[in-house]
Amino acid sequence: NAGVTQTPKFRVLKTGQSMTLLCAQDMNHEYMYWYRQDPGMGLRLIHYSVGEGTTAKGEVPDGYNVSRLKKQNFLLGLESAAPSQTSVYFCASSSPGGQTQYFGPGTRLLVL
Amino acid sequence: DQQVKQNSPSLSVQEGRISILNCDYTNSMFDYFLWYKKYPAEGPTFLISISSIKDKNEDGRFTVFLNKSAKHLSLHIVPSQPGDSAVYFCAASALPGSARQLTFGSGTQLTVLP
């Protein structure tokens, strides 16, 4: 039982490049979330999903897209990376009745 | 506009003493509050939570207090241990629809000195 896993752990991109971050959970959770964390700030919600095939915008969605084709996976895409997207990205999952979100280990992204 | 604020970026405490971490919120719709603990290069891990219908919740060495009138909550750790050294995030949620979105504070770095 791995919980929430994220790949890759670290990535360097050049401005304008694209990439996809993968989140997987084996807890059969309906809800999944993507956050970013910047220095001196708390985690901010980018997008979330309440079930397979559904997605919704969070607090800071601009420049990101997401997909939830399978219940256990939640993908975060950057179509054209910008230096402002340098951050640590965390994925989380929870059950509909549960109040607690469980987080992955994070992906550190550097955009040059 | 920060809806959840942790005004102390850092806190140092001697081992065995009490650690008190504070959190203030502005949104009166928040009805559930959580504390997460984060070690470097790891994801946040859930520590303890409290519903707005309670004013105290205890779990071992950890106690969370909620003062709704003051829109303030605090996390008490007694006794503090060196392994408690980490960043602590306060988070809050309301239930506007089908998903509980968490709003996080900026975190407090706790250092427990041996």
Residue-wise pLDDT for A8-59, tens only, equals 999 999 999 999 999 999 999 999 999 999 988 889 999 999 999 999 999 9
Q: What is the pLDDT of residue B107?
A: 96
Mean pLDDT of B71-95: 95
Name the one residue in this structure whose structure tokens are 């707005």.
B52
A21 touches chain B (CB under 8 A): no
* Three-state helix/strand/coil letters over A68-98: CCCCCEEEEEECCCCHHHCEEEEEEEECCCC
Residue B87's Cβ-count burial label (10 Å; 0-12, 13-18, 19+) is: buried
Contacts of residue B36 in chain A, CB cutoff 8 Å?
A: 103
Residue in the structure block whose two tokens are 């890759």: A8
Q: In what helix (H) or strand (E) does residue B31 lie, and over which residues does it extend?
A: none
Residues shown for chain A = 112
Locate A49 and state its tokens.
Answer: 């999903």
- The strand order across the sheet containing A19-25 reads A4-7, A19-25, A73-78, A65-67
- Polymer length in residues for chain B: 114
Other C-beta atoms within 10 Å of A93: how many?
26
Reading the block at residue B104, the tokens are: 């996080």
Angstroms from A16 CA to nearest CA on chain B: 26
Q: How far is the C-alpha of B109 from the C-alpha of B16, rounded, in Å?
A: 18
Alpha carbon B110 to its chain's center: 12
Q: Most A CBs within 10 Å: which of B1, B4, B27, B101, as the mutation test of the A interface?
A: B101
Structural Rg of chain B based on CA atoms: 14
- Nearest residue in chain A measured CA to CA from B44: A103
Tell me the shortest Cα–Cα distance from A4 to chain B, in angstroms: 10
- pLDDT for residue B98 is more than 70: no
Residue B97 pLDDT level (bands cut at 50, 70, 90):
low
pLDDT value for A2: 79
Rounded to an integer, the average pLDDT of B64-87 is: 97
Amino acid at A100: T
A43 vs B102: CB contact, 8 Å cut-off?
yes
What is the structure's pLDDT at B96? 57
